[in-house]
A and B are shown apart, each in its own frame.
Chain A
Amino acid sequence: MSFKRDKKEEEDGNGNPFQNLEKTSVLQEARTFNETPVNAKKCIHILTKILYLINQGESLGTREATECFFAMTKLFQSKDLVLRRMVYLGIKELSTIAEDVIIVTSSLTKDMTGREDLYRAPAIRASFSITDPTMLQAVECYMKQCIVDRNPSVSSGALVSSLHLSSQSGAGDVVKRWANEAQEALNSDNIMVQYHALGLLNHIRRNDRLAVAKLVNKLIGQSMKSPYAVCYLIRIGSKIIEEDYANGTTTISDTHFLEFVESCLRHKSEMVIYEAAHAIVNLKRTSARELAPAVSILQLFCGSSKATLRFAAVRTMNKVAILYPAAVAAFNMDLEGLIADSNRSVATLAITTLLKTGTESSVERLMKQIATFVAEISDEFKVVVVQAIRTLCTKFPRKHSILMNFLSAMLREEGGLDYKTSIVDTIILIIEENPDAKESGLSHLCEFIEDCEHTSLAVRILHLLGKEGPHSKNPSKYIRFVYNRVILENATVRAAAVSAMAQFGASCPDLLNNVTVLLGRCQMDIDDEVRDRATYYLTILNSSNPSLWKNYISSNDQLVSLSLLEKTLKEHLNGALTETFDLSLVPKTAPTPTVTEDAHNDAMITTNSIQKTPRVTREEVNVERLLQIPGIQRLGPLHKSSPSVQLTESETEYTVSCIKHCFAQHVVLQFDCVNTLSDQLLENVRVDLLLPEGFIVRHVIPCAKLIYGEKESTYVILEYPGDVASSSATFGATLKFIVKDCDPTTGLPDSDEGYDDEYMLEDFEITVADQIQKTKLNNFVVAWDAADSEEWVELEDTYQLSAVNTLQDAVHTIIKFLGLGPANATEKVAEETHTHTLLCSGVFRGGAEVLLRAKLALADGVTMQLTVRSTDTEVAEIVSSAIG
């Protein structure tokens, strides 16, 4: 991605003749088209300008485009070959903007069926861009002829146009009728025609899995000439296999197909070989036996003289490194050769792959090598390198000092915000996960903020300093850095620095005096926010009341969702203001996951895909809907919302899915219903539950009207049973409603008379996980040790987990069953170990904290020693019994 941009910049430097085009003047020039006789040379130049503008993202208004389009139609009178082909391109570009484009239909049809082969293919493509499905009937016979035409470019053009057309609504059925012709084109000698024919055939059958499988099986038998078609075949096939694998079924044709892919590794075209290797690597069911030949092919490609092949190979290797580190480890030597590659992107990928597979001993050497070229690569690649280092940190905690030094060196260099942010993220991650690295990490960050141009980063680091600094060996050291910010920076950073200083004051009694003096000076600040904060903290610190300090300064455990707090406050202000605002009504939310999700991105070389949208937790979204239920406030804040569970098959008359909203003593079941019958109107829709013992229905909110195709919700509010032990249970459910037949087009009921009907839903469960909100503890060990006291209950038991075969599976299962949040990155199991300890934590509804330690050992299945600590006996019991 980035080279492209670089290249473009270079071109710009050389003076792009079209650089300073202006839309209005070009459109003015387009009037030349109306002149007779046509000046072909001039018109070609003007058309080029128009196309350039459109492709640069300039938008034409409907009137402008229409005017231009009609002027262009005049150019059909010229017999100039090049001009005519430019006109085709113009038609294609303008067809979506201009009106009445249909006017050129006959002109194009004439060219399509004419004798000039040079016109025919582009005319077909242009003609399809203006054809709407209603006119398709008229051109159908031409198309059928064109698809099987002897001229390959005509045939290709027709096939590709049909493919585009068939994704338009209403045209699909017509295109389906051309399958026989496409089948015939599949036997063409031309490589492109064959490829396009396969594409069209697959597209026509895409909704019919069996038909696609049949097609693939048939084609595997014949050896196709076109390497493109073979590549495409491999892709279609892998998709089928992947779907089968996901459904848990393996058919004979799958095995058959896998053999075909393996045989493609010996194909004579490099493209096919690579595609086959790529497919094997990406298939989830691939075993070591199948992987080996694919990896050796990739290894071979690494030594190729073509940069594209090397890039592709290394990139796939990178993927392999994540999935099967052991398989790549053997080829580290080849990869190391590529570090010095003249192509920087190949080199970067090689390095990051090596970092993923490398051993602890090689880290130092690799870091040295990276250092030599890191300055030469673009920011995007630097981020990739940083992400690789991040994974390395979690893998080899002992190497933190080398990595940290390297990162801080990178921090000092020039770079954009994204790049700096990813470095700071990484350092913070190291500090959080590795207590040994804390001191050095903090001092690197301190150094960084001394000269940091990014406000957002400075604020984050100051916050971190305030949190971690007071607990370090020498807190006073950090105060200097923090106070420097107050003197030198902008208002936002100064405010953050004031907060950070207050933290020191609250947590380190011996520094209190110094901090109050410094805060006193901040009261003179010119910015309101800074002064307010200084005054606020100073007052609390001067109160000499440690409990106040703890609650209002040093305790960071504000779990209230800020966006929801803002919303409820606004609503409160708009209301009658007769009641006082109750903070406890605002739902607490789980901390949003920070870096763990991004870690998957690092396989990609493009980092543009990182989402910038603010993360909103499921709870925040749901609260808005739930607040519309009258009286919902009485249940207290929302504790947790479960993901949606389907209670029906996806293609039935009515589809229903259920979301469980858990409150302290109640659960709100939200049933999202969709009516897929266009001739029915449902009224008074509700869900009738078969309750297990102990649960009480408090309220049912039916859905008054369920119109065809619209999603509506009905709610049931249940109270949990008194004893926690019976709160996880299975429910039977039936959808009940009144049916009224209605006119499918208008949706109006035929009569007011309806009849009662019901529809069986699948059973669903309320599990322990539904009642636990995960928490993210920064330091699990401290919390765990602190829980070894009177107020906490500890339960311990040993289990045999027979259903899982690997440690990673076991970890996933535990987290899924309990809904707890893993701590200290223990959710990732290192490769080739036989023991693992999973640490996780959460809060049960009602506020009881849960800490869990699971020691896992692998030997004929997984054995687990589970230790649960909780503030509530019953909760501890239910958690430990949930696994068994």
Chain B
Amino acid sequence: MVFEKLFMKILNKERKPKQISILIIGLNNSGKSTIVNFFKNKDVRKSVSIPTIGFNIEHFENQGVSFTAYDMAGIGRYRNLWEHHFKTCNGIVFVIDSSDRMRLVVVKDELDLLLQHPDLKRRRVPILFFANKMDCIDALSSVKIAAGLNLEKVDNKPWQICSSNALSGEGLQNGVHWLTSQIKECVLTPPDKEVYD
């Protein structure tokens, strides 16, 4: 009896989709909520998004992994709230408005702060950059943004930058696909823990 129960427990655990929490951050008006909106089922999508105050929690699935996305507010006065979630997140999505050349320096500041944060500094957390609003005429290319942000200096975390258009969904799947595979690799199969898959 007892063994049977134990076995069932292990079996259940195996089948259950993995719960992963990811943090979606970036300056205000960069398209974070719109990106999250795109991943939700078609029937619950919103047509208009308004500036987020605080944060929103959304759930979606991708390649058998269940994501809990913390869609954080990007407005200046709420950015200090991001760090409350650094400790518990398994992956970070950093959204950049590629048409906003002016504020690229602000993005760099925020990114540097994030990378230096004690909760993240030594952790191997995958970071996905979305160079969003690629449809805009004066949008910077993802390569230029990567250069502008000095991304090549980031060596202890896997990162990837994708151009995207959150309105049409272009580029989003690619990015998330990469993120999922990275997470599977470095979170769900940590070297010192037993592997179920």
Contacts and interface: CB of A to CB of B under 8 A. Distances in A.
Interface in A59-78: 70, 73-74, 76-77
B55 A73 contact: yes
A103 interface: yes
B88 A106 contact: no
Contacts of B52: 106
Nearest to B68: A77
Contacts of B81: 100, 103
B78 A34 contact: no
B56 A36 contact: no
A36 B78 CA distance: 24
A106 B68 contact: no
B51 to A, nearest CB: 9
Contact of A36 (B19, B54, B55, B84): B19
B54 A103 contact: yes
Interface residues of B, number: 17
A107 interface: yes
B88 A104 contact: no
B137 to A, nearest CB: 31
B10 interface: no
A70 B59 CA distance: 19
Contact of A34 (B57, B68, B73, B88): B88
A102 B81 CA distance: 10
Please classify the interface of chain A as helix (H, G, I), strand (E, B), loop, or mixed, using the class held by over half of its residues: helix
A559 interface: no
B59 A77 contact: yes
Interface in B21-71: 21, 52-57, 59, 68
Contacts, number: 45
Contacts of A102: 53-54, 78
Interface string A306-322: 00000000000000000
Contacts of B54: 102-107
Nearest to B66: A37
A135 B53 contact: yes
Quick one: which of B19, B54, B59 has the most chain A CB within 10 A?
B54
A70 B55 CA distance: 11
Given A36-B19, A36-B68, A107 B55 contact: yes
Interface in B86-136: 87-88
Given A106-B52, A107-B55, A74 B73 contact: no
A106 B88 CA distance: 20
A363 B117 CA distance: 82
A388 B25 CA distance: 71
A594 B87 CA distance: 66
A106 B73 contact: yes
A711 interface: no
Contacts of A74: 88
A110 interface: yes
B19 A106 contact: no
B59 A106 contact: no
A70 B78 CA distance: 14
Nearest to B81: A103
Interface residues of A, number: 19
Contacts of A109: 53
A135 B52 CA distance: 13
B148 to A, nearest CB: 30
Interface in A278-337: none
Contacts of A34: 87-88
A139 B171 CA distance: 34
A37 B55 CA distance: 19
Contact of A76 (B53, B57, B80): B57
B49 to A, nearest CB: 11
Contacts of A105: 53-54
B9 to A, nearest CB: 15
B19 A37 contact: yes
B72 to A, nearest CB: 9
Contact of B88 (A36, A76, A103, A135): A36
Interface string A634-675: 000000000000000000000000000000000000000000
Nearest to A66: B84
Contacts of A100: 80-81
Given A34-B88, A36-B68, A37-B19, A107 B78 contact: no
B57 A107 contact: yes
B53 A106 contact: yes
Contacts of A135: 53
B102 to A, nearest CB: 26
Contacts of A103: 54-55, 73, 78, 81, 84
Given A36-B21, A77-B68, A106 B84 contact: no
A107 B53 CA distance: 8
Nearest to A37: B19
A426 B53 CA distance: 64
Given A36-B68, A74-B88, A77-B68, A106 B56 contact: yes
Contact of B56 (A70, A110, A138): A110
A103 B83 CA distance: 12
A100 to B, nearest CB: 6
A77 B88 contact: no
Interface in B120-177: none
A263 B87 CA distance: 67
Contacts of A73: 55, 84
B84 A70 contact: yes
Contacts of A104: 54-55
Contacts of B57: 76-77, 107
A37 B56 CA distance: 17
Nearest to B20: A36
A70 B19 CA distance: 20
Interface string A98-129: 00101111110110000000000000000000
Given A36-B68, A74-B88, A106 B21 contact: no
A70 B87 CA distance: 12
B50 to A, nearest CB: 8
A74 B87 CA distance: 12
A525 to B, nearest CB: 69
Contacts of A106: 52-56, 73
Given A36-B19, A73-B84, A135-B53, 18 more contacts: A34-B87, A34-B88, A36-B21, A77-B59, A102-B53, A102-B54, A103-B54, A103-B55, A103-B73, A103-B81, A103-B84, A105-B53, A106-B56, A106-B73, A107-B55, A107-B57, A109-B53, A110-B56
Question: Nearest 9 A-B pairs (CB), nearest first?
Answer: A103-B54, A105-B53, A105-B54, A106-B52, A76-B57, A37-B19, A70-B84, A77-B68, A77-B57
Interface of A: 34, 36-37, 70, 73-74, 76-77, 100, 102-107, 109-110, 135, 138
